Structure 1
Amino acid sequence: MATIQTQTSPNLEINPHAFSRQQLVYVWLAGVYITSLLLANIVGVKMFAFQTTWWPLEDGLLMHTMGMLPFPITFLLTDLLNEYYGKKAARRVAYIAFSMAALAWVLIWVSRALPTHEGIPGTATKDAFEIIFGGASLMYLASIVAFLCGTLIDIVLFGVFKRLTRGRFVWLRATGSTVISQLFDSLIISLLFFYVFQLLEGNNPNLRDAINIAFTGYVLKFLIAVAMTPGIYLGRYILQRSFGLKPIRLPGMTV
């Protein structure tokens, strides 16, 4: 405990390490954000596919990486952080998340390089470890680069829409910024992993396949972003009613 002096309390004791409720919310949002990004990159090596009668590409085969499951959580949290803590705070979390993801990528690379001791039940063989993390390594790198580019674009667009609408139409700035920024995210990750990195490894990738996967990813992200629009309102309700947060006001805002 520390003792400070004020006009009303000459000997007020405070805990110098205590966080306010608003600061704790920021820490928790950042933690969930980083976890979602890391998990999306780790499971992204697996592909899913569904045969449909309505999908226009690949004879109706809808396919993408499993990173599509946890990654949309970052859409919602980016908007909430931007709305209640400002663009600098949102960028800070994005940079921290990118740094932690890059650190994880380095540690995975080191783990692959270390000699493997096999034969102990419950542990992975070298081949099994390589199958998962060897392929994930390049996907991971492409994913975090695309993530940072897309997120920074999202943060800028969110502020632009907020100023243009003078703080009104929450759904427009939340959904609009996401659907535009994720176009860049989808193109970057697909072109890097499915085309550029494959060329660098001496393979003969098909640019059309890379673009098809980017298109599939973007359509899925678009649909998810629209479906998650009620989530921004629920998040606003919880943050305002339960934790007393108020949206950041920009010059010219009327609400």
Structure 2
Amino acid sequence: MTAEQTAEPQPHAAFAQVGSAYYPVLVAVFTALVIVSNLTATKGVAFGPIITDGGFIVFPLTYVIGDVLSEVYGFKAARRAIFTGFAMNILAALALWVTIYLPTADFYENQEHFENIARGYTGLIIAGLAGFIVGQTLNAWVVVRIKERTKEKHLWARLIGSTFVGQLGDTVVFCAIAASVIGITTVGDFLTYTAQGWLYKTAIEIVVLPITYRVIAYIKRREPTYGAV
């Protein structure tokens, strides 16, 4: 026999099927976080020299959920969640614009403010979805590619590596479009906005890494279909 014939077959990376109760819950939380972060991102925020937007509050958590989906269910399942979030954000934007043109009640005095939010949200939807698709796809791809090599070992490398790459792609694309929407006009402010956003979101994911570990371990233990495929 040749060396290839006698060598033991390499085990495949383990993933779970999406038919359990956990997957739809994760997708629902993921989608809600994306919508909330896009709404809060309509406000530019400054902490002294630090320039960001309101989306910084919850947006990093979308990557935590994305890591869980990619690690437990694989790239195709994570991509399905990304497309679901994409579709629901488009629906939210359409609902806002339809509401703008509905007849205004006599007692309602915030039509102009509502329009400003809707217009800002629409601009950020374009920026957010472009960055979201790029970043989340890179994030899921890196998790799965590293897992194919390391199997169940070195989870930290998958999570940190995917965060580094995914957040970089997301932040650069998002900020390039969103900067003008929230009022950033100078190159210096744009570079600050982009660099600080990337560093902040990456740092948050590293800080919550122990929680991500526990969530992944919890779901893996309770997913009856999790195993080599």
Q: What is the TM-score when the length of structure 2 is the normalising length? A: 0.83
Residues 156-192 of structure 1, C-alpha deviation per residue, up to 9 Å, x if partnerless? 1111221233431101101210121111111111111
Read off the aligned partner of 2:215 and give its amino acid letter. Answer: G
What secondary structure, in the 3-state scheme, does the structure 2 residue paired with 1:64 have?
strand
Match of 1:216 in 2: 196
Match of 1:29 in 2: 26
What secondary structure, in the 3-state scheme, does the structure 2 residue paired with 1:63 have?
strand
Match of 2:158 in 1: 173
Change (3 A) 1:127 1:80: same
Change (3 A) 1:249 1:217: farther
Distance 1:248 1:147 in 2: 29
Distance 2:131 2:191 in 1: 15
| RMSD between superposed Cα atoms in Å | 2.5
Distance 1:226 1:173 in 2: 12
Q: Which one of 189, 208, 213 corresponds to residue 233 of structure 1?
A: 213
Match of 2:134 in 1: 149
Give the number of the structure whose residues are more often helix, by fraction: 2
Change (3 A) 1:124 1:240: farther
1:100 matches 2:74: no
Q: Which one of 79, 84, 89 corresponds to residue 72 of structure 2?
A: 84
Change (3 A) 1:171 1:213: same
Match of 2:56 in 1: 68
Match of 1:129 in 2: 114
Match of 2:8 in 1: none
Q: Which one of 146, 158, 174 corresponds to residue 189 of structure 1?
A: 174
**How many residue pairs are counted as aligned between the two chains?**
213
Read off the aligned partner of 1:106 and give its amino acid letter. Answer: L
1:50 matches 2:47: yes
Distance 2:104 2:93 in 1: 19
Distance 1:204 1:40 in 2: 19
Tell whether the 8 Å contact from 1:83 to 1:247 is kept in structure 2 after alignment.
Answer: no
Deviates more, 1:157-166 or 1:99-108: 157-166
Distance 1:99 1:116 in 2: 28
Tell whether the 8 Å contact from 2:34 to 2:59 is kept in structure 1 after alignment.
Answer: yes
Structure 1: tracts of 5 or more residues without a match: 1-19, 52-60, 251-255
What secondary structure, in the 3-state scheme, does the structure 1 residue paired with 2:20 have?
helix
Q: Which runs of 4+ in 1 moved over 4 A?
A: 245-250
1:138 matches 2:98: no
Q: What is the TM-score when the length of structure 1 is the normalising length? A: 0.75
What secondary structure, in the 3-state scheme, does the structure 1 residue paired with 2:45 have?
strand
Change (3 A) 1:80 1:249: farther
Tell whether the 8 Å contact from 1:112 to 1:130 is kept in structure 2 after alignment.
Answer: yes
Tell whether the 8 Å contact from 1:187 to 1:211 is kept in structure 2 after alignment.
Answer: no
Larger radius of gyration: 1
Deviates more, 1:181-190 or 1:127-136: 127-136
